[in-house]
Structure 1
Amino acid sequence: MNVFSVYLTTVVFLPLLQVAKEARGHLSPSVIVISSMSGLTSHAQGHFSYNAAKGATVHLSKLMSYEFKKAGIRVNSITPGYFPSEMMTKQSDSK
């Protein structure tokens, strides 16, 4: 679902992004995908599906960037690093 929602949202907004490109001329519209450093690591960290989903969003961003540049639309991926949260504590693993 993580990857599909990023793809579907982007594709649904493509017509508006193309109109923005035509209206603004020198300014290129941009898609920003929020992923995670967990998608770039080779360590499972005990979160296999999360890491795989985030890795897929990073790769999807690369693919969309290549394809959409033909239409003058930029695609960028932000991959924040570690942030202390319940997911990162041992307590969440015992639930």
Structure 2
Amino acid sequence: MAVWVDDMRIAKHGKLWCHLVADSWEEMHAFALQTLQLEQRRFHRKAKLPHYDVTVYERELALQLGAVAAHHRQIVVCARKLLASV
């Protein structure tokens, strides 16, 4: 199992943002909420594809803590697999 962070740099609210997903729902939420200590509101439950928004700084921290860098297309594939597992 893996946690993935993409290479996007979306400018919003004065910060640059990326996306975080994982191979399982449990792993994604545990990594985001416990390991990175993100707020639950960062999870985009109603988005077309489930993910957490992370700042570029948080992306680097996630990588240091074991997440895997991924192209944003790979994030889409992972998020679709999560949806299919519901």
Q: TM-score, normalised by structure 2?
A: 0.28
Please report the TM-score for the alignment, with normalisation by the length of structure 1: 0.26
Higher helix share: 1
Between Structure 1 and Structure 2, whose CA radius of gyration is higher?
A: 1
